[in-house]
Amino acid sequence: MDQTADFEDADGAAAASMTAATDGIAAFRFPLAQRAKVVTRGGRWHHRARPATDPPSTTRPPRRCSSSFVVGVGGVGHTTRRRAPAPPAPPEGSMAGGGPTEGNQLFAAAAAAGEAGFRRRRRRRRLRVLPFSRRNETSPRLLAKMGIIGKDNDTVKVAAGSDSASATNDTEVGRLEIARENKRQIGIPSAALLILNRIIGTGIFATPGTILALCGSVGLSLFMWVAGICIAAAGTAVYMELGTGLPRNGGEKNYLEYVYRSPKFLTTSLYTGYVLLLGWAAGNSVMFGEYILHAARVEVTDWNKRGIALGCLTAAFLIHGTALKWGIRLQNVLGVLKILVIVVIIIAPLVNLPKVREVNNFHDAFEGTTGSGYGVVMALYNVIWSFVGYSNANYALSETKNPTRTLKFAAPLALGGISVLYMLANISYFAGVSKEEILEAKRLVAASLFRNMFGESAERAMSVFVALSAFGNVLSVIFSQGRLVQELGREGILPFSRFWASNRPFNAPLAGLTEHYIVTVITIVAPPAGDAYNFVLNLISYPLAIINVFVAGALIHLYRHRAAWNWNPPLKASFPVAVFFLLSNIYLVVAPFIPPEEGQSVYDSLPYYIHCVVGFGIIFAGGVYWVIWAKLLPWIGRYELVRETVVDDIDGWERTQFYTRPLGKRVQDDAPPVDYGTANDGGDRRD
């Protein structure tokens, strides 16, 4: 469909100038002396001059607008339109009068260059006329071809007669935008594998035995997996909408800050405790050690398992801290390997049907069902643990090419494929391993399946593949959590924000990775013997349910006050889906306090509610930090916290730093927080 950009200049002047848009992109304005059209057909630009004698439309009067067409490194679109009176007749020398002006020449040259470039490169990404809400889609090479920036990507071309200071500023803005664009390395395949790697860890291989023990029957166990898939699908839809509305690194932090703004800085401080004090990579690191020892036929003890877990964690930390591109490539390879392993598990019973006939788990599928409240919710926690990571791509949207399109395809593709594989893998377990063997094997169900089907050698090989799957998950967790810590540093909530926000020297958030590494080491070593894996699993899942309650509530609030917040992102989850996600997570928060029946607790020596208490304590620790940092210390020191935004002069990232100002002293203009873009051209809503 043709897309048309109309240009008018009310005073008849024909000039072209480079300006910096308010959101920090380099923008090129083309005010012309008469209406013209730039039409895209099949990805090509056409320039048409409309004669001054064109008759008005017979269907409706021509729309008179005061608008500017903006072309910049950040995107292509229209500024906000306002009604304006019809322009006067074009002066002599304008395009309508026959004589080309400098502005018309520049415009015609840009249009001609764009058309020629697209004719030569038909398969390259098409240039589209887009609203500001979908910026960051213009290639720097295309802009160089159109003459907007230099071919070396560091010079912004301006028309003769422009103010030199303004030109210098525009050059700097353009250079920083190009630096940001060069950081975008994640496409649809990498984003899908990023989600897949985060979800598929050891959950599908280790939790079926625990879920069966808590549910008591095969039928209820499978129903728990279906319920978990529905919750994960609703969560994916919610995070897709919020991610396309606020497309930047940080994930939940952005969405909570955007809606819950009062008291000032409290939301970010609470979320800080959640991010900094949880060792997300601990569970799969422990399972890596257990499966490696099982494959090596070495007796598994608490400390040799934890020692190998620390080695796995250290390797993942060094890879992502010093070689980002190779880390992403390794994640992608292991992501493909995980899929192959699950496919092999699915087809294993089909290869050895005589063995399958000896197992009779589906004859009376609901025999032995317990149905206790504690058992159901803890089983659901194990399923949710197996799906943790459906929002993983949201943590790296600043490094994602075309975030809206990437999320639209990558997230549903990854979650849909994983859901099908998970259900088929569970059916395969129950078809090839008896109920008693599954309960006895506990976390080694996949290895037991291959022993029954193909013998002990196959069991050892499967243990190695499951260990590699766990390592891929650890890589993915380290990748995302390091960027979350970096976002907290950029916000200025953590001391020494420049240290946390930096990507030097390896173009990776080394400081954030180091913090998560230290916390995960403590999480691996601290729990008592026998309870380490289950405690880590529940400790991660429970605070996540608390956060998701507020995330779903934020989206529901935006739905109910859509006009006031000007909320209109490209992708939408729908109100019923958001409500379902909210109610599901409220249940996951409340139900674990129900006492278990005798012998049903998942812990050997810890209280059944320990993960709930620790989870709330971690989040509230952020609240204590907020009271001390934002309230108590300013009151004692008689100062107030002021936030300013600075831009790094090398890699173009923004960070927010705080400084103190004595009470009673005022400055005319304190720098406001950076608005990193919302779903609308209207920017951040301020009450």
CA dist., res. 373 & res. 379, Å (int): 10
Mean pLDDT, residues 550-570: 93
666 DSSP assignment: -
Task: From the options 3.40.50.300, 1.20.1740.10, 3.30.413.10, 1.10.10.10, give the CATH code of 183-629.
Answer: 1.20.1740.10
Least confident range from 464-473, 570-579, 596-605: namely 596-605
Reported confidence tier of residue 156, pLDDT bands at 50, 70, 90: very low
393 SS3 class? helix
**CA distances, 387 to each of 187, 422, 530, 618 (Å):** 22, 10, 24, 22
Residues of the chain with CATH 1.20.1740.10: 183-629
Q: Quick one: pLDDT at residue 664?
A: 74
For residue 579, pLDDT beyond 50 = yes
Mean pLDDT, residues 160-175: 55
Strand partners, 186: 400
C-alpha angle with apex 445: 443 to 451, nearest 5 degrees? 135
> Within 13 Å and on the Cβ side, how many CA atoms surround 53?
2
- Is the Cβ–Cβ distance between 349 and 453 less than 8 Å? yes
Q: Quick one: pLDDT at residue 347?
A: 92
The per-residue b/e assignment along 409-420, b for 16 or more CB within 10 angstroms, e otherwise, is: ebbbbbbeebbe
Mean pLDDT, residues 138-155: 40
What is the per-residue pLDDT across 195-218, written as a single tens digit (0 to 9) for each? Answer: 887 788 778 988 898 899 889 899
Q: H/E element holding 643?
A: strand 639-647
**CA distances, 303 to each of 352, 444, 677 (Å):** 37, 18, 48
For residue 601, pLDDT beyond 90 = no
> What is the secondary structure of 528-586 as a DSSP string?
PTT-HHHHHHHHHHHHHHHHHHHHHHHHHHHHHTHHHHT---SS---HHHHHHHHHHHH
**CA distances, 270 to each of 177, 481, 496 (Å):** 32, 16, 19
CA dist., res. 241 & res. 571, Å (int): 5
Please classify residue 424 by burial: count the beta carbons closer than 10 Å to its beta carbon, then call 0-12 exposed, 13-18 middle and 19+ buried. Answer: middle
What is the per-residue pLDDT across 357-388, written as a single tens digit (0 to 9) for each? Answer: 777 888 888 888 887 778 888 899 889 888 98
CA dist., res. 585 & res. 547, Å (int): 9
Cα dihedral across residues 599, 600, 602, 606: positive or negative = negative
Mean pLDDT, residues 79-101: 41
* φ/ψ of residue 509, rounded to 5: -75, 70
For residue 682, pLDDT beyond 60 = no
Helices 456-491, 445-454: crossing angle, 10 deg rounding: 160
Q: What percent of the chain has pLDDT over 70?
A: 68
For residue 545, pLDDT beyond 80 = yes
The two tokens of residue 56 are 């008005």
